[in-house]
Structure 1
Amino acid sequence: MAEQALREEGTQPLFEMIAHVSVQDPSDDEAIEKASEKSSATCQDSDSKPAVKKKRKQPTECFLSQPEEKQESAVKAKRRKKKKISDVLQKSAPKPGVPADLQNLLNQHFGENRSVIEIEELKLSDSCFLPANDLTHSFSSYLKEICPKWAKLRRSHKEKKSVVMLVLCSSALRSLELIKSMTAFKGDCRVIKLFAKHIKIKEQMNMLEKGMFHIGVGTPGRVKALVEQDALCLNSTKYMILDWNWRDQKLRRMMDIPEIKKETFDLLEKSIIKLCRDGSVKLGLF
């Protein structure tokens, strides 16, 4: 009996402990779940915060857009800057024009719209040219060199609506300068101004029809207009001089000005090149 009583006393606390462990309050489970949810939420927050900081530390889009804008602005600046004639001349001394320069420009101007046969008809041999100016001559000294028998040609010229020598330059002001500078050469010959500034074409047509002139100095556009209207005849012309090497305030030659260049080549194609190939006209580059 005593042993049985001890067994009952020893087992009673064990049963109470088991009951206490096995039987739990449902509120305790809810508390545990809430605690686990809070801990998981805090873990998620702690994991997400560094990711946000990384995005702020690496503004990749802003960093990449800046150099692209700089490159685009640099390209635009390069496109706007074009080489000027003055910049080219500052680096190298101007070279005197030669007959090959004129022939190359003729081929470039007519090459795109002409056939091979037509380009061949525009070619000029060396015999068509006078000696070119080497930049050491004045206009009078150059004319004396290329035309030593000028006095004889001047006296024998009797035809109206024509000139013995035709000088083409880029502007009216340049034409006046050349007329003044040829006083030592022209002698008793008469010079007519063939440019548009302050002179109407009808006045020039009347002067050519009524008077006799030996030298005509003017611009290619006005000369071409007079030739097309049969006011100026080139059959008596012996010399045609291009004011090739002179440069204006912008350092442009007459062939550097698109309008002057086009009018000059149109005049050469329609009237002068054929006369040069026949041997009646000589071309000179001053």
Structure 2
Amino acid sequence: MNLDPSDDEAIEKASENRTATCQDSDSKPAVKKKRKQKKISDVLQKSAPKPGVPEDLQKLLTQHFGENRSVIELEELQLSDSCFLPANDLTHSFSSYLKEICPKWAKLRRTHKEKKSVVMLVLCSSALRSLELIKSMTAFKGDCRVLKLFAKHIKIKEQMNMLEKGVFHIGVGTPGRVKALVEQDALCLNSTKYMILDWNWRDQKLRRMMDIPEIKKETIDLLEKSVIKLCRDGSVKLGLF
């Protein structure tokens, strides 16, 4: 699910509200009543699920860089509609979504022979979510090798060695670890055709990946430094699941 921006504002305003203080007849110090917060779950219950769309990502980039970049620099961060794959309309399983956006996967899988690279990158908010997505793509991936690209229980040196010695087709992990591998030249994105953001999923606190400050920053950094140019050149397509 994806909250409408107006719902996000409602949540913020509700959390800031304070109940009026009152004084008794003896003019005792004002006593603050316990404030009643409007939870994100309350707003979600009243709003229909709204899937993420490319405009949401564009708006996020503009908001993040708007105050610190020139007009020309902001234009260089803009992505045309042709840079995006169809977004998930919330009716898909992960496998069915991947089948829709990548109908020629079997051929891509067979022809991919390069080390230190993957054909498809999937970014999500945590190691546990990465494992869930890997399990749920069974009907799609076929006979290919999937690499776990997160930090929990896996040292970066181990991932670097695996990328250097073997051929992998799909990488699933967190933006922070993917960014670190790219910066150390252990993962090359020149062979990557698809980058999927796990945009709509919410964790136990009902946060999307872009609602978590650290994940949001690492994702935007990765997009700015390594992905946006590839998208503008036409070699990488972005998808919001």
TM-score when normalising by structure 1:
0.71
C-alpha spacing 1:134/1:209, structure 2 compared with 1 (3 Å)? same
C-alpha spacing 1:30/1:110, structure 2 compared with 1 (3 Å)? closer
Equivalent pair of 2:94/2:137 in contact (CA under 8 Å): yes
Deviation at 1:204, TM superposition (A): 0.4
Q: 3-state SS of the aligned residue for 2:239? A: strand
1:168 and 1:100 map into 2 onto residues whose CA distance is 18
Spell out, residue by residue over 1:239-263, the C-alpha distance to the aligned partner (whole angstroms, 9 max, x if none): 0000000001111100110100000
1:253 and 1:25 map into 2 onto residues whose CA distance is 13
2:56 and 2:180 map into 1 onto residues whose CA distance is 26
Deviation at 1:172, TM superposition (A): 0.3
Deviation at 1:113, TM superposition (A): 1.1
* Equivalent residue in structure 2 for 1:191, among 143, 146, 153: 146
Structure 2 counterparts to residues 1-286 of structure 1, below 5 A: 84-286=39-241
C-alpha spacing 1:116/1:188, structure 2 compared with 1 (3 Å)? same
1:24 and 1:263 map into 2 onto residues whose CA distance is 21
Equivalent pair of 1:85/1:252 in contact (CA under 8 Å): no
Structure 1 unaligned runs (5+)?
1-22, 56-79
1:33 and 1:245 map into 2 onto residues whose CA distance is 20
Deviation at 1:112, TM superposition (A): 1.2
Report percent identity of matched pairs: 93
TM-score when normalising by structure 2:
0.84
2:50 and 2:135 map into 1 onto residues whose CA distance is 25
Q: Could you list the structure 1 runs, at least 4 aligned residues long, displaced by more than 3 angstroms after superposition.
A: 23-55, 80-84
Pairwise CA RMSD: 23.4
Deviation at 1:94, TM superposition (A): 2.3
1:27 and 1:234 map into 2 onto residues whose CA distance is 36
Deviation at 1:32, TM superposition (A): 84
Task: Count the aligned residue pairs.
Answer: 240
Q: 3-state SS of the aligned residue for 2:224? A: helix
C-alpha spacing 1:31/1:267, structure 2 compared with 1 (3 Å)? closer
Structure 2 unaligned runs (5+)?
none
Equivalent pair of 2:163/2:186 in contact (CA under 8 Å): yes
Deviation at 1:88, TM superposition (A): 2.3
1:28 and 1:98 map into 2 onto residues whose CA distance is 16
Deviation at 1:24, TM superposition (A): 106
Equivalent pair of 1:163/1:237 in contact (CA under 8 Å): yes
Q: Counting helix residues as a fraction of each chain, which structure ranks higher? A: 1
C-alpha spacing 1:116/1:97, structure 2 compared with 1 (3 Å)? same
Larger of the two Rg values belongs to structure: 1
Q: 3-state SS of the aligned residue for 1:48? A: coil
Q: Structure 1 stretch 30-39 or stretch 191-200: which is displaced more?
A: 30-39
